[in-house]
Structure formats: structure tokens, C-alpha cells
Chain A
Amino acid sequence: MAVHEEENRKMSFPLDPNSYRIFQKIGCGVSAAVYKAVCLPMNSTIVAIKAIDLERSRANLDDVRREAKAMALLSHPNILKAHCSFTVDHHLWVVMPFMAAGSLHSIISSSFPDGLSESSIAVFLKETLNALLYLHDQGHLHRDIKAGNILVDSDGSVKLADFGVSASIYEPNSSQTSSSLFSSSNLWFNELAGTPYWMAPEVIHSHVGYSFKADIWSFGITALELAHGRPPLSHLPPWKSLFMRITNSLRLSDYEKCKTSKNKKFSKSFKDMVASCLSPDPSRRPTAEKLLKHPFFKNCRSGDFLVRSVLQGLPTVEERYKESLRSQHDPQAAIDDDEDDEESLVAPVEKHRRISGWNFNERVLEMDPVFPTQDKENDREGVRFDGDNISQANASIHAEEIDRMKANPSLSPTQSCSLDDTDVDNARSKHDDVEKDKLQMDLGRERINEDDTVTNSEEQEEYEVSSTSTTVAAAPLVPVLRLIMDSLEDERQVLSNLIAGISGGHIETKHEEDIQETIAQLSLQLEQEKKRSSDLEAELECLRKTTIENSEDVSRTTYSVQCSNTTGPINISI
């Protein structure tokens, strides 16, 4: 019966734009905008309309069809279902229930920058898990679990949204081998999909394939996001965070340190729950079903509790959206965001925040959970292209890196995680240094064309490549690099917007030059990453052989690695 009512209700939403009156924009992404609107023939029911620009949307129409189909056929109280969808010229309008409190991401950014209380986190996460359990049972992977895709209504009900990159094991898409007979081998995906900070390691290493457990990882990251106000590594631009994930495991111990320093204490069961989701080995992560039985979700409160503890006194989504635009240098920048991130519904804020965050938003860095000694970096961020500073740091890492490798040649990223449990304190602080320096290493790459550091960095390049290749298979880097390329493209967009702003503004040309230089460096870097990926592929083979023959002599392998360090042409124009 319920199904029937549902259908009747769905059918009665009119399929023509004139039946809707649009109030205001409450969110926007690269190729879509979300509006608050009313449906006139239905007693002016308030709805949210996501208008996807099919002309700008990079996704092919098959993906759009799959998303519409998923939204039409999924039916669960914790999943946002579309009332209907129809095209209006070159836009696709998806009419959905209006979730008055907006996304968790927007709630956090506007009112809980340091994260939510554990008891409200438990409610939000439990509701999300219900949705995930249903989805997985249906053979669907969401592939983009994050606070920005978890929506809250004014009554405290919670719904998972945005199936833009979701996938179904029953409907293999074109990029998969669809010719084979359906079997559980279809349970494995290889595409790189999702949003970098929330992406599971096996998604990044996409050649090994991933499945439902990738959602569980993202769920764990989302838990941290709710606890701290932002996901780990989010002070880095998305593509750097991908590299960090490849070369390092996330270490919960760092969070704990951070928490104590902030006087924010989390229960053992919460930490345990998150840790289980973030196990580097997907098979060790619990299923959604098992996770629901975790003690952390026992005695979970209800939606009413959320209304009292979180939703009361929140600015409306409209206000939050306006605020997010106001805090922007240039409202246009809101449109230029990373395209891989599907437009999040009712959560515009995150869009431009993430990209502009590492340029303009200092507050974000202050909250860095991964690198506890971040104050200096904070300063450095302001002058992040100051070469001397960075190259110096650069030099020190590699010593550390190599030490570490010598000490434990077989150290793989997965193992480095478990080390935390056993290592003594000073070892840990050393780790932190390595972590910190890894960040600098990334920055340092941007300087390799600097005259006074050329020789130095050439050597370093070799180390970098070798250290990466001992921990990373080269093949998965290709999609990652593609993503990086896109990400760089987006950053370029932000920068060009800024330049546009500057040319009409009062900021000195020096900054503009800096930015030009930055762009040049980024594109140079892009070239080098491209080269490196092809080199890596070749070297990996060679390395494998060498490692098998002589596994002790890791350092020699290291030196034997060739890396073409020639600077490529700069293709990107402004």
C-alpha cells in the first residue's frame, strides 16, 4: 500500500516548469544549481529543484540517466527520493523534497566549525548507516558518502542524497566489461569516483578493484568530518590528499593528540567505530549491517534530540548560502569547483571552500588534525611559494624517508598504520616529522625549476620516485593523475577568477605575478606528474624484478631508478 501511495504522490508532481515558482538559489556546483521552490498546483508544497546543466555537465547522458533511475527506484526513509524529473531546455530539473536544515556540511560550516557533539554525531551516522545498509542490500554503491551529501530536515530526519556517481552491481556501465555473464565479479569496480578526501585507498589504487567497503571508508571519514568540522587532509588541495593516501595511511593517533590539545574528548567506542571503518584492508572493515550493531550506536537518541541540540537557532539554508557567497572574493568562484565532486544538494558552501580553502582560509589550517605541529605551516601557507623555506624542508624529508626505508625496507603503507600501536613515543614524533615533511615535499616539487635548487631537487626527485614506487603500483596512478589534472584545472580556474578580480581591484600587480608564477608552476608540475606516471609504469616492472632478486638492497634499487626530470612545456594558458 505504502508503495502505491508513494507512486500516486510521485505522479502528481507536474512535469512542467510553469507549475513551479522558484524562490531562490540555495546551492550551486559546476554544472548544477539547487533552488528552493514551490509547486503551485500542489498547495504550494515547498520543494528543492536541482537544475543540472546538461550542456555543461561533463558526465555523459547515460550517467545522468542512471542517476535519475536510481533516484526513482530507491525507496527508503533515509534516502532522498526525487518527486520527478524533466528537462527544461538544456537543463534537467530534478524535483525533490526540500530538506529545510540543509546538508550536514553546511550546518557544520555555519555553526559548528569545530565539529558536533558525539551524541548528535551518533544519530546522524546511524541514520546514514540505515541508508547505506539499504543501498548495499540493493547492490548499490553510493561512492560519495560525505557530510555534504547527508541532508537534514527541520524535524531532525536525515536523508542520504546525491547519486550522481553511484553505481549498481546489477547495471554494469559502459566502462566495465559488460559482456561477461553477471557474476560476483561484477561486485568489483575499477573506476575512480568520488571526492578525493573521502576516497578509500583501494578506490585510489583502482586497479585492485573495490566494492561496498569503499563506502564504509568514506563513512569513517565522514565521522571524522562531523567530529572535527572537516575531513582529514582537507587543508591540502584534493589531488595532494590523494598522494598522501597512497604513500601514507591515516593515523588515528594523530587525531587523538589533536583532540586532547583541543580539550575535545571522544569516547572509546566512537574511536573504535571510526578506526574499524578506516582499516586499510577493506575486508577488515565491518559491513553496514555489522556497523549498526556497534556499541557506539546503542542508546542512540532520536530526531527530536537533533532538533534541540543542533538545529535550533541555525541560520536557514538561504542565509547560509548567501553568507557563503559573501565570504567569497568573487561569487563567480562558486561555480568553478572541482568537477569530480558531484554538485551537492543544498550544500553549496563546500564547493568553493575546498578549493579556495587552501589559498584563503586560514581557519581551516588551524584545525589540522593530521599534522599537529602546524603553526609554522600556517605561516608558510601564506607564503607557500617561497622557495628557500620549502626547499630546505624538502631536503630534510628525504633523509627521513630513506632512514625509514632502510630501517624497514618492506614497510608498506598498510603496515605503517599498525606501527602506531607498537611504536614508542619518539618514533611517533619522528613519524610526525615525516608526515609534515611529506607535505613540504609536495610543495617542494613546485620549486624544482628554481635555479638555486635545481641540482638538489634532481636528486630528491629520484628519491621521491623510488619511495613512491616501493609503496605504489604505477597503474592506479593513471586515473589518479587524470583526477589531479582536473583538479589542477580547477585550481587554475580559481586563480584566473582571482586574477580577473584583481585586474578590476586594488591589489598590486605583484600578487598577480605571483599567481601567474603559481599557475606556471602548477602546470609544470602537472607535466612532471604525467611524465612521472609513465616513468613509474616502466620502473615498476624493473623494480619488481630487482626487489625479487635482491630484496635486501633496497637502497641500491632506490638509486638505480631513473627519473626524467626535464621540464615539460607549459601548456596551460590563462
Chain B
Amino acid sequence: MKSLFKSKPKTPAEIVRLTREILIYLDSNSTSREAAASKTKREEKMLELSKYIRELKCILYGNSEAEPVSEACSQLTQEFFRENTLRLLIICLPKLSLEARKDATQVVANLQRQQVHSRLIASDYLEANKDLMDILISGYEIPELALHYGAMLRECIRHQSIARYVLESEHMKKFFDYIQLPNFDIASDASATFKELMTRHKSTVAEFLTKNYEWFFAEFNSKLLESPNYITRRQAVKLLGDMLLDRANSGVMMRYVSSKDNLRILMNLLRETSKNIQLEAFHVFKLFAANQNKPPDIVGILIANRSKLLRFLGGFTTDKEDEQFEADKSQVIKEIAALGPSS
């Protein structure tokens, strides 16, 4: 009966406003001294909030019956970023139920891609609110928030300016620890974000690596490539290959493959029992060998280990047939064999 006389359905902008009102309420009543009476009220508000967030998600993603309507999405996005809704939502996330957190994460993720008048207004908002990234990144230290904040963060760094902010922030150093957290869900989420940061925006990454070469690769080598943790090493050596083989990073690559310390680390990775690590290590090692301007100490190491290396490479195969790998391998063998007379 009630629904029959209910006023017409709320507009997307109205739902955003209602969501924001409750978030403001939650945010201002966050203190621990809440009376029993206000507790029930609070719970009611929470339920309402969950419902609104779910509705926002439905508008943005559509459902099995209906595709999303771009006009509605656009209204929603504009209203959302007109005021501080995103900040409130991020700050209040710990107070939401698991289901509402998941919905909120999906809403935030979607909003990063919504264009209004062919502009990503989420990007504009975030540029003015970069400190939100600080909150999202520190989420990796809070197990029950890490996966939600992590997913939001990955969407936010799709914006180049935001990715640059994160890269240049002090937080970058923390990633080396987050990647190795004991909790696998969180560690692997952090490592996915790290990879995204280091590969998504080519020019920004190249600029960052050039500027921060020293500390970055010192950390990368010691904390990741020489980590006692198998999965850290495996992911790191793969990422290293992806980074160095990217054309935008050719300068960084030349610098990397001219260091004998780096060569030593990669040669140790070649000796791993893990086939996956060996293979990924080979893809980096080949760059040392293929370098036409090898510094003398690199040449020295390669010559000193020539017979061992050639024996190893001779017996090094992939499970699957891989022409590219075989071609690379024979090239590397040729390079090493052609080095000056052994000492």
C-alpha cells in the first residue's frame, strides 16, 4: 500500500545527497560516547546508507534487467564530486558493513571512469584532494580495510597526475614492505598496485625511475629480488623484466645492466630451483649479455663464469616450445662465447 502512494523515485543526484547527509552524520557522531538511544538510530542510518550505496551501484553498473543510463551516471557523478562525498565515503568506510564496503568500493572504482562533458571529473577532484591517497595507501596496514582501499587506490592511479603524486610521495618506500606482508590477500593486492604504479603511465614511470634510480633499485634489489619470500622474488623479477624491457625506460635499462652488483643478483636468480624465477631472471640476464657496451667488470664476470654459464644455458629449456626464448638463448650463448679470451 505504502509504496503505491510513495512519491516518484529519487533522482540519482538525490540519492547522492541523501548518502552524503548520512555520511556527515556518521562522521560527526563517531565519538565513543554515544547513548543507547542514538545507537538504534545509528543502526537505522547504517541500513539506509547501505541501501543508498547499493542504489548508486545499480545506477552506475546497471543490473540484469537494465543497462546503465549515461545521463543518470553523469548526474550522479557531478553531484558526487560537487561536494566532498568521496572523502566522507573513504573516511567512513571502516564504519560500514562488509557488503556496504564492497558496494562503496565498486562505486568509487566506477566513478573514476565516468566522463562528464568528456572530462574525467574524478581526476580533477582527486588532484585537489591528493591527501586521500595517503589514507588509501595506509589502508594496507589495516587488514579489514586493505582490500577495499587497495581496490579504490588502483582505480585512482589510473589518472596520471594521481599516479605521479603517489610515485613521488614518501609512500612509495612503504610498498616494499606491504608487498611482503604475511597475509597473502593483502600482500598480493599491494603488489598488484605496485605493478600498476610501475608500468601504467610510461613517461611518468620513466621520469620517476630516472630521478629516483639510486634508492629505488637499492630497495628493489635488496628487499624484493633478494627477499627470502619466493613469491616476492618471483613477482619482482617479472616486474623488473617488464620495466626494463619497456622502451620508455631504455635509459634506466642501460644503467641497470651496467652494474655488476645487479648482474650478480640476476645470476643468483638464474640458479634458483624455481623454473618460473629462472625464466624471468633469464629475460633480464639476457640484457646484460646483449649490451654492446659492456663495462669491463661485467665482461670480467661473464668471462670468469663462461663455462658454467654456457653449460647452464645449454641445458636450459622451457616446458613449452618458445621460439623467442630459443632465439634469445642462442643469442646470449653467442655473445658470451664471443667474449675475449678467458683469463
Task: Spell out A's residues near B (CB within 8 Å).
Answer: 3, 6-7, 11, 15-16, 54-55, 61-62, 64-65, 68-69, 72-73, 75, 84-87, 89-90, 92, 138-139, 169-171, 181-184, 187, 212, 287
Contact = CB atoms under 8 A, between A and B. Distances in A.
Nearest to B321: A571
A377 B327 CA distance: 50
Contacts of A69: 147, 185, 188-189
Which residue among B113, B185, B192 has the maximum number of chain A CB atoms within 10 Å of its CB? B185
Nearest to B96: A3
Interface string B92-130: 000001110010001001100111000000000000000
B62 A183 contact: yes
A184 B185 contact: no
A15 B98 contact: no
A130 to B, nearest CB: 15
Given A61-B188, A65-B192, A87-B231, A182 B182 contact: no
Given A16-B182, A72-B185, A182-B61, 20 more contacts: A15-B182, A64-B188, A68-B184, A68-B188, A72-B147, A73-B98, A73-B102, A75-B98, A84-B184, A86-B182, A86-B184, A90-B231, A139-B61, A170-B106, A181-B114, A181-B115, A182-B109, A183-B61, A183-B67, A287-B64
Contacts of A92: 184, 231
Contacts of A65: 185, 188-189, 192
B222 interface: no
Which residue among B97, B110, B144, B147 has the maximum number of chain A CB atoms within 10 Å of its CB? B144
19 contacts: A11-B143, A11-B144, A15-B183, A54-B231, A55-B275, A61-B234, A64-B188, A65-B188, A68-B185, A72-B185, A85-B185, A87-B230, A87-B231, A90-B230, A139-B61, A181-B113, A181-B114, A181-B115, A183-B61
A86 B231 CA distance: 10
A187 B64 contact: yes
B184 A87 contact: yes
B236 to A, nearest CB: 12
Given A55-B275, A65-B192, A69-B147, A86 B235 contact: no
Contacts of B97: 3
Chain A interface secondary structure, helix, strand, loop or mixed?
Answer: mixed
Contact of B231 (A15, A16, A61, A62): A61
Nearest to B43: A1
B68 A184 contact: yes
A15 B183 CA distance: 7
Nearest to A180: B113
Interface string B56-68: 0000111110111
Given A65-B189, A72-B185, A184 B62 contact: yes
Contacts of A181: 113-115
B176 to A, nearest CB: 17
Contacts of A55: 274-276
B229 interface: yes
A62 B67 CA distance: 29
Contacts of B183: 15, 84-86
B102 A183 contact: no
A54 B184 CA distance: 13
A75 B144 CA distance: 13
A73 B102 CA distance: 8
Nearest to B102: A73
B147 A61 contact: no
A542 to B, nearest CB: 32
Given A62-B192, A69-B189, A212-B64, A182 B143 contact: no
A138 B103 CA distance: 9
B224 to A, nearest CB: 14
B110 to A, nearest CB: 5
Contacts of A138: 102
A75 B110 CA distance: 23
A297 B118 CA distance: 50
Nearest to B229: A87
Contact of B109 (A72, A170, A183): A170
A72 B184 CA distance: 10
A187 B66 CA distance: 11
Contacts of A87: 184, 229-231
Q: 5 closest Cβ contacts across the A-B interface?
A: A15-B182, A65-B188, A184-B62, A85-B184, A90-B230
Contacts of B66: 184
Interface string B221-250: 000000001110011000000000000000
A16 B183 CA distance: 10
A68 B188 CA distance: 9
A38 B231 CA distance: 25
Contacts of B231: 54, 61, 87, 90, 92
Nearest to B151: A171
A181 B115 CA distance: 9
A41 to B, nearest CB: 15
Nearest to B97: A3
B98 A3 contact: yes
Contacts of B113: 181-182
Contacts of A61: 188, 231, 234-235
Contacts of A16: 182
A95 to B, nearest CB: 10
A286 to B, nearest CB: 12
Contacts of B115: 181
A65 B235 CA distance: 12
Contact of B67 (A6, A72, A139, A184): A184
A55 B275 CA distance: 8
Contacts of A183: 61-62, 67-68
Contacts of B109: 170, 182
B177 to A, nearest CB: 15
A73 B189 CA distance: 13
Nearest to B275: A55
A65 B99 CA distance: 20
Contact of B61 (A15, A73, A90, A170): A170
A184 B230 contact: no
Contacts of A85: 183-185
A73 B150 CA distance: 13
A121 B192 CA distance: 42
Contacts of A212: 64
Nearest to B111: A182
B223 to A, nearest CB: 16
Contact of A73 (B62, B147, B192, B234): B147
Interface in B251-309: 274-276
A87 B187 CA distance: 10
Interface string B182-201: 11110011001000000000
Contacts of B68: 183-184
B121 to A, nearest CB: 14
Contacts of A11: 143-144
Contacts of A64: 188
A341 B320 CA distance: 20
A182 B122 CA distance: 15
Contact of A182 (B60, B98, B147, B276): B60
Contacts of A184: 61-63, 66-68
B44 to A, nearest CB: 15
Contacts of A169: 61
A15 B187 CA distance: 12
Contacts of A187: 64
Which residue among A15, A69, A287 has the maximum number of chain B CB atoms within 10 Å of its CB? A69
